[in-house]
């Protein structure tokens, strides 16, 4: 992650997520991941761009897979997604890189490409049967 991306991530985590997050979670294609801190045990809420892929949920990782919320989700084996008034418990996180961005709707690819967002995390709702993660 570049220095600019780190500064933007820090700004978003500290300020923007608190104001923008509640609005975004009500919009199509956005949600908030509720995850538990690995060390603190504290609950956090992080706005995300989310895509459906069959029964699974895929989220873009514009700040990379080393983001705290991704590491927390991997450590816990899941998280909760709040999107459009629904609360969905997710599990079996799988981080992958997709340089072609095949998991993203075509109109959004140029925007994510501009941010060099080629990393994604895929999770399945807790009520779906366990199978191998879908690949791009």
Give residue 134's pLDDT. Answer: 52
DSSP state for residue 107 in the 8-state scheme = G
Dump pLDDT digits (tens) for 93-131. Answer: 999 999 999 998 999 899 889 888 899 999 999 975 555
Which DSSP string do the residues of 64-92 spell out, in sequence order? -TTSHHHHHHHHHTEEEEEETTEEEEEEE
CB 33 within 8 A of CB 48: yes
- pTM here is 0.77
The three-class DSSP label of residue 31 is strand
Dump pLDDT digits (tens) for 82-92. Answer: 988 889 999 99
- Does residue 58 register a pLDDT over 80? yes
The span from the CA of 79 to the CA of 69, in Å, is 9
- Does residue 2 register a pLDDT over 90? no
What is the percent of the chain with per-residue pLDDT over 70, rounded to a whole number? 74
Residue 90's alpha-carbon distances to 6, 12, 34, 107, 113, in angstroms, are 27, 24, 10, 26, 26
């Amino acid at each position: 992650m570049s220095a600019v991306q780190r500064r933007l991530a820090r700004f978003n985590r500290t300020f923007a997520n608190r104001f923008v997050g509640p609005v975004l979670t009500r919009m199509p294609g956005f949600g908030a991941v509720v995850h538990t801190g690995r060390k603190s045990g504290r609950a956090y809420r992080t706005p995300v761009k989310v895509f459906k892929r069959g029964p699974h949920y895929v989220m873009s990782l514009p700040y990379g897979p080393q983001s705290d919320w991704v590491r927390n989700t991997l450590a816990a084996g899941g998280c909760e997604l709040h999107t459009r008034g629904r609360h969905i418990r997710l599990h079996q996180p799988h981080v992958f890189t997709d340089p072609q961005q095949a998991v993203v709707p075509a109109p959004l690819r140029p925007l994510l490409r501009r941010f060099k967002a080629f990393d994604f995390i895929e999770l399945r709702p807790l009520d779906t049967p366990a199978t191998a993660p879908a690949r791009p």
